[in-house]
Structure 1
Amino acid sequence: MNVRRTETVDEVDAPPEPSRSPRSLREAWIALAGLAAVFLFEMLDNSILNVALPTIGRRLSASTTALQWVTGVYAVVFGGLMLAFGALADRVGRRKIMLVGLVLLGAASLATAFVTTAEQLIAVRAATGVAAAMTTPGSLALAFRLFDEDGLRVRATTLISTVGLVGLAIGPTAGGFVLAFAPWQALLLVNVPIAVLAFLGIRRGIPADRKDELHRDPVDGLGALFGTAAIVSALVVPTLFVVTGAASLAPWLTTAAAVVMAVLFVVRARRARHPLLDLKLVGRPLVSSGLAFKGASGLAVAGLGYLVTLQLQLDWDWTPAQASLGMLPQVVVLIAGGSLIGPLLKRVGFDKAAWLGAGSVACGLAVYALLGRFGYVWVAPALVLVAAGMRVVGVVAGTNVMRGLPASRTTIGAALVDTSSEVATGIGIAVSGTILAALFTGNIATSNWSADQTAEFGEAVTLAGLLLTAVAAALVGWGIARARRGTGTATPSPAAGSDGEYEGSGCEATGPS
C-alpha cells in the first residue's frame, strides 16, 4: 500500500504539461475571462435585481412576502446546494459541472422573458440558484488549478474578484438606468450573454480535468441530505425573522431544525466510510483557519451592511440616493483595494495577511458598534476598515483553503469557503434583525420616530454590533491559533491519489478542534 501511494503522489506531482500551467495571466486570458464572467454574474445578479423589486411588485401584483422570496430563494438554493455540487464536481469533473451550470443559467435567465406571476419568478430564481451552486465554487477551484505558482493564483483570484466587485458597485446604478426605458425583465436577461461568454471562455481556455485530479468515492447521499437541510434551514431563518417576526414560532423552529441537521451531518461525516465531507480535511490548519477568517468577514460585512442601511435611511432620514453615496467609501475600497493585496502578501506572507484582513473586519464592526451613533464621521472609517479586510480575506483565505487541500478535493473546498460566507451572512442578518425586533417598539419603517424609538434603535444597533464583533473576534482568534498550529510545517501539497488517499505532507490531517 505504501508503494502504491508513493507512485500515485509522484505521478500527480510530476511537472504538468505546459498547456495546463500558464506562466502569466496573459497566457490564460481566455480562461480568466470565462471565470471572471462567472463571478460577475454572482455579484451583479442580486444587486441589480434589488433595484427592480418595487417595479416587479407593481407589475406582478406581488405581496411583500413574495418579493422577499424573490431574492431569498436564490440565496437559500445557492447556499444549500454548494457542498453537494462541490462534492459531485470533484468526482465527475469541475469543468463539466461548470459548463452544465452555465447552460442552466442561460436557460433560466432566458425564461425570465416569459414570467407573468410572482410564483413563476420565484421558480426562475430557484433555478438560477441551482446554476450558481454549480458554477461559483468551481470558479475558485478552476482558477487555483489553472496555475502552479501561488503568486499567479492570487493575482488571478484578485482579477476575477475585482471584475465581480465592479459589477456589484455599478449594478444598482445601471439597473435604475435600464428601468427608465426598458421592462424589468431586461435586468435578468443580461445574464444570458454573461453565461455565453463564461461558457466559451471556460470551454476554450480550460482543459478537461485529469483523472488523477478527481476521485471516485461513492456519493454520500445521506450526508448530502443532512448538509443541504442544515444549510437551507440556516439560510431560511433570516427571511422568517423578517417576514413573521421574532415573536413567531416558525423562525425558532427552523433554527432548531438547522442545529439538528448540522449535528446529524457531523455524526454522518464521522461514521461514513466515504463521507460527503471528510472532517479531517476541515481540521487541517490552513483549511480551518481560512474558513474561520471567511466566516468572520461574512458575519461582519452582513451585520454592518444591514445596520448602516437602516440607520442612514430610517434613523437619519437620508434619501436612497444619499444612502448610496454614504456607502461609497466601501465601494471604492472594494474595487481599488485589489492593487494592495500583492504588496501586502510580499511584505507579511499569506498567513499573516489572512488574519490581518479578518482582524480589520472585526475592528471596523467594533468602531461602528461603539461610535457609529455619533455621526457619519465614525461610520465612514468603519466601512473602510470592513471593506479593506473583506478584500484581503476574500482572496487570501480562499487561496489558503485551496493550498491546504488535496487536488481531488479542491471544489468542495471552494464550496466550503462560499458556504461559510453565506451562512455567516445569514447569521449576521438574523442576529441584527432579532435584536432590533426585540428592542424597538412600533413599526421601524415609519417616519418621525419618537425620542424613545430613536434611543431604542441606537441601543439595538450598539448591542447587535458588539455581539457580532465578539463572535467575529472569536473566529479571528481561533483562526490565528489554528494557523499558528500549522506554522513551521511545509505547505501541504495539493495532491492526492485518484483513489482518494491523502498525502500527509505539511499540515497533517488532524481532527477538527
Structure 2
Amino acid sequence: MLEQTAGAPRSLREAWVALAGLSAVFLFEMLDNSILNVALPTIGRELHASTTALQWVTGAYAVVFGGSMLVFGAVADRFGRRRVMLAGLVLLGLAGLATVLVRTAEQLIAVRVAMGVAAAMTTPGSMALAFRLFEEDGLRVRATTLISTVGLVGLAIGPTAGGLVLAVAPWQALLLVNVPIAVLAIIGIRAGVTADDAAGLHRDPVDVAGAALGTATVVLALVAPTLFVDGGARSWPAWTATAAAVAGAVAFVLRQRAARHPLLDLKLVAHPLVSSGLAFKAAAGLATAGLGYMVTLQLQLDWGWTPALAAIGMLPQVAVLIAGGAFVGAFVRRAGLDRAAWLSATAVVGGLAVYALLGRLGYGWVALALVLTAAGMRVVGVVAGVNVLRGLPPDRTTIGAALTDTAGEVTSGAGIAVIGTVLAALFTGDIAASGWSARQSAEFGEAVTVAGLALTLVAAALVGWGIVRTRRLSACR
C-alpha cells in the first residue's frame, strides 16, 4: 500500500488497479500532442487560425506543462500526491469536455493551457506514486517500465489514430478522448492507491518567490528555442528570452540558497544519485530531440520522401521504444541501476554521434542511429528517474519526478534550438521549399554535421559528469 511499509505489493499483479490508473495518466501525456498534430491543418481551416496561432495550439501546452511541473511537484509533496493528481485529472476531463464549445483559435489555446496545467499536476505524480507503491527497486523499475511503455504506445499510434478519427469525426474528438482516459485514471487511482498519509508529507511553507522564479525561468527556456527556430541566430527576441532565462536561473539558485524553506533544496539535488540521474536524463533529452528533428528534415526535405514513407523510416525507433520494455528489467538486473543508467545514456549519445558522422551516407546509418538512441532512451528514461527518487527523502519524491521531467523538457528544447540556429546560419534559401539545389543539399549536410557534433559533445559531457558523480557514490558506499 502506498505511504506505508506494511503490506506493500510484492508483485505488479497485486498492484494492477493502481498501475492501470497511473498508466492512463502517462498515456494522456504522451498521446495528447502526437494525436493532435495531424489535425493542425484541419483546425487551421475551421478556426481560421494563423500560423502563429497554430504553433501555440501545441506550444502553449508544452510551455505550461514544463513551466509549472516544479511548482505542482512541491505542492503535491506538501498537500498530497494522490489529492493533487485526482484534482488534475478532474481538470483534464473538464478541459476535454470544453473542446466542444471551442469556436476560435484563442479558445482552443486556452483549453490547451488548461490541459498543460493538468499534465503538470499528474505526470510527475505518476512516477512518484509508482516509486512509492513498492519497496524493492526491481519492482519499481518494472512498474515504471510498464507505465512508460503504455505512454510510448500512445505516442507511436497517436498520428495514425488521429488520422483515422479525422476520417469519420470532427477534430474535437481527438481531445474528447481525454475524458474517458481521465475517468479510467481516476477510478484506478482512487481504488488502487491509498489516501495520502500525513507522515509521508511535509509542511514547510511554499516558497512563493522561488516558485515564481522557477516557473519564469523554465517558461523562458522553453520559449527561447521556438524563437531561435523561427528567427534564426540573429533574432533579438530569442537572445532576449535566453538572457532572461539565464538571469532567472541565477536568481532562482540564489533564492533557494537564501530561503529558509526553499522550493527545491539544492543540497538534495547535489546528492550523487540525484545529480547523476538528472545529467543522464538531460543528455538523453538533448540527443533524442536533436536526432528526431534532424532525421525528419533529412528524410522529407533532403531526400524527398513522402510523409508516409518518412513515417515508415522512423519505425526502427518506434519498434525499439515499444518492444524494448520487455528487456529493460533483465538488463537492469544484470548491470545494476547505477551502471545501467550511464550505459543507456551513452547509447543515446552514441546514436547521435553515428548520425552526425555517417547519417548522410545512407538510410542504414540513419536506422542504426535511431535504434541506438531508442534503446538507450528506453532504459535511461526509467532508470534515471528511479535513481533520482532513490536519492531523495520520501517526502520529496514528487518534486524529484518533476525535476527529472523538467530536465528532459528543457534540454529537448535546447537541442532543437541549436539545430534551428545552425541551419539558419548555414542554409541559404527557404528550407521548407521543395526541390533543393545541390548546393542547398550540401549546406544542409554541413549543418547536420556541425549541429549533431555540437549536441554530441554537450551530451557526452553531461554523461561524463554523471559517471563521475556515480563513481563518487560508489566510493562512499
TM-score (normalizing by structure 2): 0.98
CA deviations on 1:385-431 (whole Å, 9 max, x unpaired) are 00000000011110001111000100000000100000011101111
Show the counterpart of 1:311. Answer: 298
**Rounded Cα–Cα distance in structure 2 between residues aligned with 1:237 and 1:27:** 45
User: What corresponds to 1:361 in structure 2?
Assistant: 348
The residue identity in structure 2 corresponding to 1:17 is A
| CA offsets 1:83-119 (integer angstroms, 9 cap, x no match) | 0000010000000000000000011111111111111
- Determine if contact 1:359/1:476 at 8 Å carries over to the other structure: yes
Cα distance in 2 between the residues matched to 1:409 and 1:191: 29
Q: Give the secondary-structure state (helix, strand or coil) at the position aligned to 1:395.
A: helix
Asked whether the equivalents of residues 78 and 201 of structure 2 are also in contact (C-alpha less than 8 Å), the reply is yes
Q: State yes or no: 1:346 paired with 2:333.
A: yes
Gaps of 5+ in 1: 1-13, 491-513
Please state whether the residue corresponding to 2:39 is helix, strand or coil. helix
1:404 maps to which of 370, 381, 391: 391
Aligned residues: 475
What's the RMSD between the two structures over aligned residues? 1.0
Partner of 1:139: 126
Q: Distance in 2 between matches of 1:134 and 1:221?
A: 17
> Once the 2 structures are TM-superposed, how far is the Cα of residue 181 of structure 1 from its aligned partner?
1.0
Deviates more, 1:278-287 or 1:21-30: 21-30
Aligned to 1:433: 420
SS of 2:474 mapped into structure 1 = coil
* Residues 1:218 and 2:221 aligned together: no
Match of 1:125 in 2: 112
Alpha-carbon distance between aligned partners in 2 of 1:53 and 1:15, rounded to the nearest angstrom? 46
2:174 is the counterpart of 1:196: no
Q: Please name the residue that 2:27 is paired with.
A: 40
Preserved contact between residue 292 and residue 476 of structure 1 (Cα < 8 Å): yes
Q: What are the superposed Cα offsets for residues 51-104 of structure 1, whole Å, 9 maximum, x if unpaired?
A: 111111111111111111111111100000000000010000000000000000
Q: Could you tell me how far 1:247 is from its partner in structure 2?
A: 2.8
Pairing 1:382–2:369 present: yes
- How many Å separate the matches in 2 of 1:242 and 1:61? 24
- 8 A contact 1:68–1:239 mirrored in 2: no
Q: In 1, Cα distance between the equivalents of 2:196 and 2:11?
A: 20
Paired position in structure 1 for 2:49: 62
Among candidates 331, 352, 356, match of residue 318 of structure 2: 331
| Match in the other structure for 1:17 | 6
1:468 to 446, 452, 455: 455
Q: Which amino acid aligns with 1:355?
A: W
Which of 219, 230, 243 aligns to 1:232? It is 219
Cα contact 1:223–1:265 (8 A) shared by 2:
yes
Query: In structure 2, what is the Cα distance between the partners aligned to 1:64 and 1:16?
Result: 53
Distance 1:484 1:418 in 2: 24
Q: Tell me how far apart the structure 2 counterparts of residues 448 and 174 of structure 1 sit (CA, whole Å).
A: 31
For residues 243 and 463 of structure 1, what CA distance do their matches in structure 2 show?
19
Inter-partner Cα distance in structure 2 for 1:488 and 1:341: 26
* Matched AA of 2:329: G
Residue 263 (structure 1) aligns with: 250
Q: d(CA) in 2 for partners of 1:366 and 1:248? A: 28
Contact 2:287/2:349, CA 8 A, preserved across alignment? yes
Amino acid at match of 1:151: G
Alignment check: 8 A CA contact 1:36 1:160 kept: yes
Identity of aligned residues (%): 75
1:337-380 per-position Cα deviation (integer Å, ceiling 9, x unaligned): 11111111121100000000000000000000000111111000
Amino acid corresponding to residue 349 of structure 1 in structure 2: G
- SS of the residue 2:168 aligns to: coil
> Is 1:102 aligned to residue 89 of structure 2?
yes
Query: 1:65, 1:243 within 8 Å by CA — same for their partners in 2?
Result: no
Change (3 A) 1:203 1:15: closer
1:190-245 deviations in Å (ceiling 9; x for gaps): 01000000011101110112112110111100000110000000000122223344
Does 2:284 correspond to 1:288?
Answer: no
Match of 2:74 among 66, 71, 87: 87
Partner of 1:275: 262
Distance 1:453 1:479 in 2: 38
**Could you tell me how far 1:489 is from its partner in structure 2?**
4.0
CA contact (8 A) 1:369 1:466 kept: yes
* Residue type at the aligned position of 2:45: R
Quote how far apart the aligned CAs of 1:15 are.
Answer: 7.3
- Residue 168 of structure 1 is matched in structure 2 by 155
Quick one: distance in 2 between partners of 1:248 and 1:337? 41
Partner of residue 184, structure 1: 171
Show the counterpart of 1:503: none
CA distance in 2, matches of 1:329, 1:70: 29
Cα distance in structure 1, aligned partners of 2:162 and 2:345: 32
Q: C-alpha displacement at 1:443, in angstroms?
A: 0.5
Q: Which residue of 1 aligns with 2:286?
A: 299
Runs ≥4 residues deviating over 6 A: none
